[in-house]
Structure 1
């Protein structure tokens, strides 16, 4: 697949709906440096797809040839009725060329029009509609290798629906002699047997991109429906999840989430599934909630979603879809960015949770940390039975998010991952005195909460990416975090009393200072106060400061003589220090989350927090570092690549790994593991980059998912080796790496 990799470096994902036909591609070098494919249509022309000299390629031709192969091998249409680049009309005066036309047996009447795009391009739905309406074709397909849309135009109407599939040649033969064959074809397709085994078979061969399906739905109907896209799509996903889950208990494992012969029947049946899902999985939707889409709009949405398997599906695809659904405005206002999967995988590995440790994410978003912890523990302890998996997930994994949509997403993703019961709560993690019994009662059952207005909890592990944006100005909330905020003060030499100190020294030692000397002494004191490297709360640094002042005083003498051994101790005795506490009008949200994370931990518990780089560098954030080091040992600090959170933000971030001190534990000096990621898993546009082998093929993991290009795994390897050596040498802080 060397040539294919040159044309489409990420072909495993770019051609996710056509991968089963990729081995059918037979590239040949017709001329030196020019690679071709023979077309699978009636003419069988040679198609240039890659020119080595110019580097030009034709990725859309790859998509076209793969779909032609599917038309012949899966749908069994004969090649003589498949033609490429056929002239068609669109709009009032427009002319164009359809990429593929499947003709009826007369070889002149269009049966299916196919519009092909390169994987990087969106399917042109409006153009496809126009082709159907002007050419009289009843069926249209838009395909780009990783997304597909099937439109249906019932004669003599213009476009009004989508279909879950296109007809096979055998189905065409059933209706070909009718005056209007398309009038019956929809009933035939919707009358097909539809069971869990059929759904699973389709998803074995195709990897659907749920995000792109949602984009199509927004263009087809949701943008003009007047309904909230997130809420309505989420209801459908919820109903479909329930249908797949319940199908296991049906005698023939039939699936009910599908289009029916009329839009009204579709709405009735999908509405029943949604109602049953609400009863089975309470707490996500209100009992009074219903699907608000019109029957016609709902019918289109159901047709697009029918073939996608959700339960136990690829969670990477689900994550991307939900990330897209959360409105950009809401995310930017709250700094609510979904944590990339490579970062989550890295954090979970570095924390190394055991099967008996309680884990919580107080800003859980789409439950990424929880789901990956769940999968990590399942694999680590070889939990293969459903009972073992669910028992672990439903007992040890907890999440909180203040945003209603994020909480719903977390619950749904935990359901998709296989956890029948979820401890995901819509609460404000920071405003713990106002938590409702919904969460406190559940925490009490597991003995995870203290009787101090919910301030201190007893979790073993906290993993979180708290919101960066959004100042908190509510005094009542700020006052809950006096511990960390109380560390923001200045402790300096009182410059207002420096002249008095100079006079005292002059009298006691019977000396006189020059005027310039006095100014230099005052200047030195001010310099010391500004020096971030000098901590005047430290006895050693106070001694050092007094030595610096002593040296300047000795040089400033006009009459008499001073000696440092006698002068420095006297300066230390009479110098005045002043503590100036700060008044808080507002505070960054993530600052409060740092204290909250440590409050959630048991003594000896571990945490990882995603934080903006400034926390580690800025002099104004020194109080934060002082608070953290007074409460916990820093195990590691890992700087993430600047592209990690693109396209949402370019903010530089780092991961802070902590171990909370045991009660009464003596604070000693200790080594810290530092690393910076240099190989990004995203490009500058925020698109993922996948690892390739020497031949240019995308590398797949054991689950057939493309492996991200990143050095985070190498950093984790280095950390594990280093930490285990520390543990072997007697450093108990790293014993967890041997669990």
Structure 2
């Protein structure tokens, strides 16, 4: 009998356990006949008697193996189903390890009954508080969490539990380099997301801390990114965003100092005098939660998901910022194929997904040209000067939401080694830009980027038209523009019989505005509500586009792509502006149409990941038994299941590859090298 059959209809999984432990249990299953049915039993490693193998018991016996084999705890220091008293009531803790010296005092308590972290953690806390146990573990066989009980209110994350020959202080004082962080990254080993950890911190401390959650978590992520980058560039340096057994006030002083250095390196995100506002005890819990997470990875997806959550949470019912999923961005970038000599702008940048992934795309070309490999720390390592020059001179972004601009600036400052052209401006209301530029506070932050943007104006006295090679954007769909002053500047705001409409959808004006940014022969990718491309009432928009550009492609995205924020069906439109040389105008030409079939997210908006069984022949660099169910990329990250493009040669070709073939056949100016 297989363990997978026993767990089939439960919430328990096996991803935390190595194959040798699973094999040991399976080889020792005893099948007994009970009332005419075959029932699996196993000789308990602690109680030394046959016990029925329920899903929970399977996980318990596997975790007993982990405790004995990996951590060296003898079974005579353990008790299963340990009775914990709550007044007259008694509850049973799944596994208890007793203190080596005080043999009746619980030292580590393991909770398996509750397969969901929030419920399991509450149960675990109650057991630790009732018994005084300083260490708690929760696992459902898939995710796992380790906690140090500092006092009844605070349970701090710890990276692991001590081995039988160690003390808790040995774990807390162990110095970590960036290579240790790569090897022990909690997102991989504990199967958590950064958003999960922020939610946990909110439950634990942030909700009652009396602070702006967005600002304080942003400060911590900003500080940790700086710490990781410094260690990525000096592999022997010890990470500083860690509690090596400091007092809470010592830790706060150290983290504030690190934050100050980060602000000095990456200017224009936080004010010079900004301070971490969390109390020392709250900060200690948050640092413990974040310190074992590697934020830098091959595509910054980890941070993006967290910022999207924080920005939406802090907008208090205003129109949310729906960040474009990274896999949709990557498809657009692959299809438009930006080059090192070309300029690019995102006019509704959000957290700057399009600019950052354009940077990555061009960097890979530069690294290949210089004979260098893309490494595990691709996003944080020192780059050749050509890479930095590209970010500094060629990549731009604009957004009117200040929080999104600060997030986008952070990611671009990292990519550009302190250089960025992310500007806080209202793209549609370009008449008012000059007022912004007169504002001294605005100039302090954005003027260097503005000077570079000015050079790309088609007319040096006007902010209307620019000469960009590429525009990529996912403009906000929600809300209409009603100001007649703004509408009077747009062809698409005119009525067919003269005059201007009283209101026009924001995304409609973005189509025209984006084309103003493009030079002749320039190309654009824009995400639009699907109705714009097939509603009869929007025919005038399609005619306007066709008059100004060659329509290259229309990609219908799955309805789940922007969930949980919105279920609006969207399409990606790719065009190239007519130009006598790069894109000569013709009356009739083929257009590439495709529809995304794989949803990439479930109906609740949770990402669906590629399993190994989906691609049994894929070459898998990461042979970690603990994650054997899922296909991982070369950086140990889960791969979202979509059909937009081939992920690093591990999945099958998708829409982007089909478009590239189409573009080559059509002789489009930007394909190939």
Q: Same fold (TM over 0.5)?
A: yes
2:173 alignment partner in structure 1: 191
The CA deviation string for residues 127-177 of structure 1, in whole angstroms up to 9 with x for no partner, is 3222222122122233445655444335xx5343514345524565x6xxx
* 2:95 equivalent among 100, 103, 121: 100
Contact 2:265 2:418 in 1 (8 A): no
Deviation at 1:678, TM superposition (A): 2.2
2:19, 2:398 → 1: CA distance?
44
Contact 1:677 1:712 in 2 (8 A): yes
State the match for 1:737 in structure 2.
671
Per-residue deviation at 1:65? 5.7
- Alpha-carbon separation, structure 1, partners of 2:113 and 2:404: 33
Q: Which has the higher helix share?
A: 1
Distance, in Å, in 1 between the alignment partners of 2:461 and 2:65 is 67
- Residue 331 of structure 2 corresponds to which residue in structure 1? 346
TM-superposition CA deviations, 1:661-713 (whole Å, max 9, x none)? 12795452222111222221122222222233448843333333333322323
- Given candidates 528, 532, 537, the residue that maps to 1:620 is 537
- The alignment status of 1:127 with 2:123, answered yes or no, reads yes
1:95, CA displacement in angstroms?
3.7
Say if 1:8 and 1:585 are closer, same or farther in 2 by CA, change over 3 A.
farther
- Say what the alpha-carbon RMSD is for the aligned residues: 3.5
Aligned with 1:399 (options 392, 397, 400):
397
Q: CA deviation at 1:389?
A: 3.6
Query: Which residue in the other structure is 1:238 paired with?
Result: 222
Cα 1:268–1:693 shift into 2, 3 Å: closer
Pair 1:479 & 2:488 matched: yes
Does the 8 Å CA contact 1:151/1:159 hold for their aligned counterparts?
no
Equivalent residues in 2 for 1:662-673, closer than 5 Å: 662=579, 666-673=585-592
- 1:703 matched to 2:635? The reply is yes
Give the paired residue count.
614
Matched, 1:464 2:473: yes
Counterpart residue number, 2:648: none
The answer for the alignment partner of 1:425 in structure 2 is 423
Among 546, 551, 560, the residue aligned to 1:629: 546
CA 1:312–1:39: 2 relative to 1, 3 Å: farther
Show the counterpart of 1:321.
306
Q: Which residue of 1 aligns with 2:110?
A: 114
Aligned to 1:276: 261
Which residue number corresponds to residue 87 of structure 1? 83
2:662 corresponding residue in structure 1: 722
- Shift of the alpha carbon at 1:598? 0.8
1:30 is displaced (CA, Å) by: 5.1
* Aligned partners of 2:552 and 2:575 also within 8 Å: yes
SS in 1 for 2:466: coil
Structure 1: distance between partners of 2:561 and 2:6: 25
SS at match of 2:469: strand
Does the 8 Å CA contact 2:423/2:449 hold for their aligned counterparts? Answer: no
Give the conservation status (yes or no) of the 8 Å contact 1:76–1:168.
Answer: no
Tell me if the contact between 2:162 and 2:170 (Cα under 8 Å) persists in the aligned partners.
no
TM-score by length of 1: 0.75
Structure 2 distance, partners of 1:277, 1:329, is 23
> For the Cα contact (< 8 Å) 1:152–1:159, is it kept in 2?
no
Q: 1:226 to 1:364 in 2, by over 3 A?
A: same
Give yes or no for the alignment of 1:303 onto 2:288.
yes
Query: In the alignment, is the contact (CA less than 8 A) between 1:699 and 1:707 conserved in 2?
Result: yes
Residue segments in structure 2 that go unaligned for 5+ positions in a row: 32-36, 373-381, 438-442, 617-628, 646-653
Deviation, 1:116, is 3.2
Q: What is the TM-score of this pair, normalised by structure 2?
A: 0.82
Matched, 1:152 2:148: yes
Out of 446, 456, 468, the position equivalent to 1:448 is 456
User: Structure 1 298/586 Cα, relative in aligned 2: closer, same or farther at 3 Å?
Assistant: same
CA distance in 2, matches of 1:117, 1:319: 33
CA gap of 1:649–1:210, structure 2 versus 1, over 3 A, is same
Give the deviation of 1:646 after TM superposition: 1.2
Q: Deviations over 1:404-449 (max 9, x none)?
A: 2212222333456675433222222222233344556535437322
In structure 2, which of residues 369, 383, 388 is the aligned counterpart of residue 386 of structure 1? 383
CA contact (8 A) 2:487 2:500 kept: no
Deviations 1:595-651 (A, max 9, x none): 121111111111111100110122222221121111111101111111111111111
* Greater radius of gyration (CA): 1
Q: How much has 1:281 moved relative to structure 2?
A: 0.6
Instruction: State whether residues 423 and 450 of structure 2, in contact with CA within 8 Å, keep that contact through their aligned partners in structure 1.
Output: no
Instruction: Report the Cα distance in structure 2 between the residues aligned to 1:210 and 1:5, rounded to whole angstroms.
Output: 32
**Corresponding residue of 2:611:** 692
Q: Which moved more, 1:408-417 or 1:616-625?
A: 408-417
1:192/1:659 Cα in 2 relative to 1: closer, same or farther (>3 Å)?
Answer: same
Separation in 2, partners of 1:675, 1:198: 44
Corresponding residue for 1:25?
22
Q: CA deviation at 1:97?
A: 2.6
**Distance of aligned partners of 1:351 and 1:72 in 2 relative to their CA distance in 1, 3 Å threshold:** farther
**SS at structure 2 position matched to 1:87:** strand
Matched, 1:606 2:602: no
Residue 493 of structure 2 contacts residue 500 of structure 2 at CA under 8 Å; is this kept in 1? no
What SS does the corresponding residue of 2:354 show, helix, strand or coil? helix
- Give 5+ residue unaligned stretches, structure 1: 50-57, 175-184, 490-579, 728-733
Of stretches 241-250 and 333-342 in structure 1, the one that deviates more from structure 2 is 241-250
Corresponding residue for 2:362? 377
